[in-house]
Amino acid sequence: MVKTSTSTTAGTANGTTNGNGFPATLDSASKRPTFYKANPHLSGKIAIEEHVNTDIFNPSMTNPFTEGQGELPYYQEIFGNDVKFRLGNFEERIKDMDASGTAIMAISLTAPGIEGIFDPVQAAETARKVNDQFHKIYRTGPHAHRFLTWACVPMQDPEAAAKEAERCVKELGCVGVFINGYSNVGNPANLEVQYLDEPQCEPFWAKVAELDVPVYLHPQIVATGQTRIFRGYEFLAGSPWGFARETAEHALRLMLSGLFDRYPNLRLVLGHCGEGLPTAIDRTVLRIRHFKKGGHGVHQRELAYYFAKNFWITMAGVQKASTLDSTIREVGIDRVMYSADYPYEDMIEAAQWFDGL
């Protein structure tokens, strides 16, 4: 990651503060609290995991709605309102990019997104509409040079997902595919989910390998049938804890399944400094060596081999130097990329922390 010349920005809106005693986010009508100081920022940053909304459907919850599968109810009102405002406000996004020294942003549909739609036909139709809309908004017009787009695909129907991935890459110029964890399948009554290592997903992976584009595996809230440990602390099933657990386990399933033996050049991206895997995977490797052959999947190599060869990491949502350092030590600096996790994290606050390293 290369840091270039500096650009100057004001850190707060007129130096005002909100009721929480922290400076208000830049020009924020909601006065959402932030934690940065008014310092110059290094320019030229490329942010890889940054989220957007759509007016085609509500991507912030399952469709139909199921209790416990969305995080917005747990947010402070001032924060939730600000997130919703910034998810869909194009001009505010440009303003925050300028203020944080972010030159280019790769945008993706917020979670659970397409994966939260139970009906596979509706998921396919909606994914196509969203991808077309994102192309029109972010890849045309005067700011097109500042945006890249991740494709969303209907994994409820892996063959349809393969076709949509191909269309998005070849016709819309998407940089890859962004998947919000497991897909809801069946109906809200049974709450069945599908993981990406399952056999029915093979047509999708074959197409991704052919297209030679990365897949970003982003978290979802822990599936409803797996949340007993969070009873009484349901908020932990989301971004404070469950996001990392669910995504790390999903990545382990992919490694154990032999996916990277069948498609050795696949590239997967994990956010949040690897969802804990950089520090935990060695323990998994040490224990598996004592297990019976054939009892831990069909993978042909140690899991650490796949993690070092097939995974890239972003620092989205992380602001701790030791966490970033341990990630770099495990996978190498060439495989760690900048991200802010906007607007769930403050782009200017994240930039200030990073620029000060």
Which residues belong to the active site? 341
Residues forming a β-bridge with 46: 104
98: CB partners within 8 A, 6+ apart: 7, 9
| Site of tokens 């992380």 | 318
| Structure tokens, 31 | 């006065």
Amino acid at 53: N
DSSP characters over 6-28 = EE---SSSTT-B-TTSSBBPTT-
Burial class (CB in 10 A: 0-12, 13-18, 19+), 185: buried
Closest C-alpha to 82, from 143, 18, 138: 18
Q: How does strand 41-42 pair with strand 6-7? A: antiparallel
Residues forming a β-bridge with 215: 177, 268
N residues, the chain:
357
Burial 313-352 (b: 16+ CB within 10 A, else e): bbbbbbbeeebbeebbebbeeebbbbbbbbbbbbbbbbbb
The number of helix segments (H) and strand segments (E) in the chain equals: 11, 12
As a whole number of angstroms, the distance between CA 186 and CA 67 comes to 16
